[in-house]
Structure 1
Amino acid sequence: MGLLDPSQKEVLRFAVNCRILTLVLQVLTRFLGSSTPVMYWFPAHLLQEQEPLLRCVDAGPRKAPEQKSPPGQKAPRNCLMKLLYNWKSCSPVTRCILVYFLTYWLLGLILHCNFLPWT
């Protein structure tokens, strides 16, 4: 087996660098995502400040929703589902936050199941 010619050396160097970069990015995003709650506090703060649908939540004990829902459909208890059901009435900030987190979740699901690098 002889020495690698220059083109094979470049390909090998590129493959090793890509693998190292991928591992570093995965580790960094896992550390930042799991140990830094600020990444989640800021969107939550924006949602509480910008979204009128979330301002009406009572601080007291939860009561059954008084609003009428379409026939055959229950009123959502989950705040996320409430925002998704009322997509058209959400503010642009809320829409951007929802699109970001749902896209991140969906891409992670698809890429991880196909054994592609995703954190």
Structure 2
Amino acid sequence: MWPLDPSRKEVLRFAVSCRVLTLMLQVLTRFLSSSTPIVYWFPAYLLQDREPLLRSLETEPWKPLVEDSPPGQKIPRNSIMELLYNWKICSPVTQYVLGYFLTYWLLGLLLHCNFLPWT
């Protein structure tokens, strides 16, 4: 093994510390997101409390799966897709919450596919 001069030691120390920091942030983010429902409860509370469109969706009956489906086979309407389709008439709080989750999803998709650290 070759002797490391001070500049190589500093570069190696910096590289290792950056990798450890990145690894810890990714692992912590994954643990918090998967084991802490509060991260999802708060936006759900905001949407349930401040979005009148969700209250109107709760009172409507379920839609059939497809036109030729057997009678009685029904699925619930997807509330999030309804909110996305009606983006312009949603409240600002709903737009912020949906915008946050869509941005997080898009950034994660773009950065992860380019081998950049993202959780």
Task: Give TM class, smaller chain.
Answer: 0.7 to 0.9
> What residue number does 1:16 align with?
16
Q: 1:34 to 1:46 in 2, by over 3 A?
A: same
Check if 1:104 corresponds to 2:104.
yes
- AA at the equivalent of 1:48: Q
Q: 1:34 to 1:102 in 2, by over 3 A?
A: same
Aligned runs of 1:34-113 on 2, under 5 Å? 34-58=34-58, 62=62, 77-113=77-113
Identity of aligned residues (%): 74
Query: How big is the alpha-carbon RMSD for the aligned residues of Structure 1 and Structure 2?
Result: 1.9
**Unaligned residue ranges in structure 2 (runs of 5+):** 65-76
Q: What is the CA-CA distance between 1:60 and the residue it aligns to?
A: 8.0
Contact 2:43–2:97 under 8 Å retained in 1: yes
**Unaligned residue ranges in structure 1 (runs of 5+):** 65-76
Q: What is the CA-CA distance between 1:82 and the residue it aligns to?
A: 1.3
The normalised TM-score by structure 1 is: 0.79
Report the Cα distance in structure 2 between the residues aligned to 1:38 and 1:32, rounded to whole angstroms: 9
Higher relative contact order by CA 8 Å / sep ≥ 6: 1 or 2? 1
Task: Kindly report structure 1 stretches of 4+ aligned residues shifted beyond 4 Å.
Answer: none
Q: How many residues align?
A: 107
Report the Cα distance in structure 1 between the residues aligned to 2:89 and 2:59, rounded to whole angstroms: 23
